[in-house]
Amino acid sequence: EIVLTQSPDFQSVTPKEKVTITCRASQYIANSLHWYQQKPDQSPKLLIKYASQSFSGVPSRFSGSGSGTDFTLTINSLEAEDAATYYCHQSSSLPFTFGQGTKLEIK
């Protein structure tokens, strides 16, 4: 089973700050890595698929990069509404797995 390790677990940030969340896979997963945002009492929402693919409906301040085993989710110019927990998810090999989550608090 592929283990995804996110860092940090928690981050307290101010609006307009740039935030970087990393996700490291225990094995090579090419670009089969997706990012989700989950706000309290809501279902998760897909932000980035296949490491760097964005799509309509997701604000342009969210971007993803990486391949192989190391991946990054970047939030440029953080907004108050971005307070949430962020998860990475790999679909390279079964069983699919999620990272443990990174909770972002807005100061």
Partner 1 sequence: VQLVQSGAEVKKPGESLRISCKDSGHRFTSYWMNWVRQLPGKGLEWMGRIDPSDSYTNYSPSFQGHVTISADKSINTAYLQWNSLKASDTAIYYCARPEIATADLQHWGQGTLLTVSS
Residues near partner 1 (CB under 8 A) are 1, 32, 34, 36, 38, 43-46, 49-50, 85, 87, 89, 91, 94-101
CB of 107 to partner 1, least distance (A): 22
64 or 82: whose CB is closer to partner 1?
A: 64
**How many CB atoms are located within 10 Å of the residue 18 CB?**
11
CB of 100 to partner 1, least distance (A): 5
CB of 28 to partner 1, least distance (A): 16
Helix (H, G, I), strand (E, B) or coil at 14: coil
The residue behind tokens 């896979």 is 25
Give first-to-last CA distance, the chain, whole Å: 36
18 or 58: whose CB is closer to partner 1?
A: 58
34 or 73: whose CB is closer to partner 1?
A: 34
- Please give the structure tokens belonging to residue 99: 């990272």
User: How crowded is the C-beta side of 68, counted as CA atoms within 13 Å?
Assistant: 2
Where does residue 55 rank: exposed (0-12), middle (13-18), buried (19+ CB within 10 A)?
exposed
36 or 71: whose CB is closer to partner 1?
A: 36
